[in-house]
Structures are given as structure tokens and as C-alpha cells.
Amino acid sequence: MSARILVVDDIEANVRLLEARLAAEYYEVLTANDGPSALAIAAAELPDIILLDVMMPGMDGFEVCRRLKSDEITRHIPVVLVTALDGRSDRIAGLEAGADEFLTKPIDDVMLFARVRSLTRLKVIIDELRQREASGRRMGVIAGAASRLGGSGGRILIVDDNERQAARVSAELAVEHRPVVETEADKALATARGPVDLIIVNATARDFDGLRFCAAIRSDEVTRHLPILAIIDPDERSRLVKALDIGVNDILTKPIDPQELAARTRTQIKRKRYSDFLRDSLDHSLELAVTDQLTGLHNRRYMEGQLGALVNRAVMGGDPVAALMIDIDHFKKINDGYGHDVGDEVLREFAVRLASNVRAIDLPCRYGGEEFTVIMPDTRLADAQRIAERIRLHVAGSPFRVAGEGDQLTVTISIGVAATRGNGDSPESLLKRADEAVYEAKAAGRNRVIAKAA
């Protein structure tokens, strides 16, 4: 999988060396020689990964990383800090600044490309979710709240048969998270299907294959998006690379440093919550795309999609389909006499009565304004007419109570009924017949059902 990578280093020779190595692996490379240029290019070009040198004059890599992660435009871009420094304090500082990894010069090509592949896969998923979220924002159905997502208070599953190590990790994390320890892989797989924000796995466990456990997590539709932090011996280089290739999000090498554990944990939980936010926003936008916000019924767009498939099956010899077209009588007088707030209450109450008087297989929808429709699979005209009469009686039989008003409103409806009639029929002709029947019902005095056979 290729990617666009921004290389940032104040030493031109280092930039050219990394650029050549990445280009040889068919990556597209952008370059910058200082912090301000890197920030500008990152915001304008939105690369897939940023390889960022730490020791730069003026604005160092730590500060550049902090600014990238605090900007809503660039916070989702993975950052790998690259430096000649190998001290614990520098590594922790980089991780706490929001970096996804910390590589030491001279860079190990195998580790570099394993990291790049891993982070590219993650970035592709995040990008797709962000694009769909952006569509939701343009539709006005998603509100931004991602900037308030934190990395503390996470539900963490520790999978480790080394009880002493698991206890130490759990004790360190319990300061700001809610860790749970499982020593058996089978039980851990079941636990992972519950509310979990991060899985920490001992990849060198004796009683189970830690990498096979990680692969099982990635292959399960319920758990495949959970971040995994693998504990690995730094000398087991091949296992480390394999872990990244099968989808482990991050690596923690032994001996475990408490601050590094805390920093990597916060990063993974924060990213998981960001991904969850995007997925939840997407689900919400999809729901709103097919749902009428006022009444909670499906909207006209959704109805038309479902009706098309049902009518096509009926025309090909399948079960008949009926349609009810419903209009609330004198609705304009309600709006004019009581106000639009009361009119909205009437629409909501009518939607409840409508939904409670149709069958589970029927599809009640708001067609527009005070017009509603019910699509009725496997229903003949006479049966649809009986159901329509039941709806009419239920609406007219008891007044609508309006909050804040002393009056109880008597509401009636006119209903037109039509059903498919074989070859040559279409969704449009079915709805047109039902609509014509509504006009006949209104012309005949309203508060009645009229079925149109042809």
C-alpha cells in the first residue's frame, strides 16, 4: 500500500537519504526543512504520514508535533519522530507530544517500512471516516465534538499469562483507567467483544500464541477496530515486524517503562475515541438521511427506494403491494389557529397513531408536509382498505391533546388506497392512483377512505 509521506529535517543530506529510500519503495515523498514549513505543508497537502526530525533550530520536532496534534485539520495524521537521541526522557516527551512512534537514527529500514505500512492502513480507515463525516457536516447532521475527546478513563483489557507482569501493568494503568486482566486467550476473546477501549497483549506469552490472538481480534467483525498494544522483547525483531503487519497498532518493548506505557495507552485510547466519534457521526448521518426528523418515521427518499423493489417483484409475479396515501384534513387551519408548534405536535402524535395501527411488515412514512404514506407488502386492495379504515377510526375517535393548550383537537384524515395490478405497473403509477383517491376522498367531504382499483 503506497502513501504520501512528508519528511521533515533541517539537514538536507538526511532529507535526501530518506527521500531516496522511500521513493525506492514507491512512496510519494514531500519534504520540508523546518517546523513552520512542515506545518504549512501538512495543512495544505494532508500527507498520510509525517517523518519528523526532533533536533531542529527554532521550532523543534516536539513543538511541531504538538501543533500538528492540536490542529483539527492535521491531528489525524500519524507522526513518527526521527532523531539521534536515544534517551528515555526524549522518547517519553515525543510520545506525550502526540507522536505515534519514535525511531532512532540510523533508521532500521525494516522497522521503518513496517511502521509506515501499519500507520498507512490506519490512516486509510480514518480518512474514509473523515470524508463521510464531512459529507454529514455539509448536510448539517453532524456537530463537531472531536476536540473534546480525551485519552483517560479507558476500559483496558490486559491479556497476559505472566501474572506478575500483568499485575504491574494493571496497577500502573489503574491510576487513570479501568484495567481488567485475562490470563486465558479464549476468555479474553469473549471479553473483547464487550465495552473495551484498548487491548494490551503479551506477544511472548507461554500459554497462548499472542500474535494469533491479535489476528483473531482483527478477523472478528465486532473487535477488528479495537486498538492493540503488544508487549514484545526488543530482541525479537521478526516477531515485532510480524505484529505490525497483522494489525497491531503499537509496540511496547520490555522492560516496560511506566511512563511510556501511560503515554502509548493515552494515544491509542484517544485515537480509538476519535474513530468511534467518526463512526457514530456516520451512523447518525445515515439515520437522518432516511428518517424524518420531526416524526421519526422513514422519509420519502427511503420509501421510494423500498417501493421500487417491492413493485418490481410484484410485476414479475410476486406478492401484490398496496399503498395508502394519507392527508390530514384542514391542517392549515391548525397551523393558522394554534401556531406551527402545535401543528408539529399534531404531526408527531399522528405519526405515533399511524405506526401503532399498521403491521410490522408495513412501512409508514412521512411523504411531505401533512401527507403520509404507508407501503404494504403482500397486501391486496381489499385488505389495505380495511387497514386504512382502522387507521381513520383511530385518528378520528379520540382528540389530540396539545401540551400547553387547554383545547383538545379533533383531527380527521382522508386516505387513498391503491394496489399493484400486474404487468405495466410502476411505483409512480401506484402512488398516483393512491394520490388521486385521496383527492376523491377530500372532494367527497373528507374523513373517509377511498380505494382506487384502476
> Residues with catalytic annotation?
370
Q: Which residue has the cell 533541517?
A: 10
Which residues have C-beta within 8 Å of that of residue 194, sequence separation ≥ 6?
Answer: none
DSSP 350: H
Q: Of the candidates 380, 363, 374, which has an alpha carbon nearest to the alpha carbon of residue 321?
A: 380
231 by Cβ neighbours in 10 Å (0-12 / 13-18 / 19+) ranks as buried
The 3-state secondary structure of 267-326 reads HHHHHHHHHHHHHHHHHHHHHHHHECCCCCCECHHHHHHHHHHHHHHHHCCCCCEEEEEE
CA distances in angstroms from 230 to 154, 172, 213, 265, 389, listed in the order given: 17, 16, 11, 11, 64
- The set of cell numbers assigned to 298 is 422513514
d(CA 239, CA 233): 9
The burial of 423, by beta-carbon neighbours within 10 Å (0-12 exposed, 13-18 middle, 19 or more buried), is given as: exposed
Q: Where are the alpha helices (DSSP H) in 7-87?
A: 12-24, 35-45, 61-70
Cβ contacts of 423 within 8 Å, gap of 6 or more:
315
In the chain, how long is the greatest CA-to-CA distance?
A: 88
Q: Are strands 408-409 and 400-401 parallel, antiparallel or unpaired?
A: antiparallel
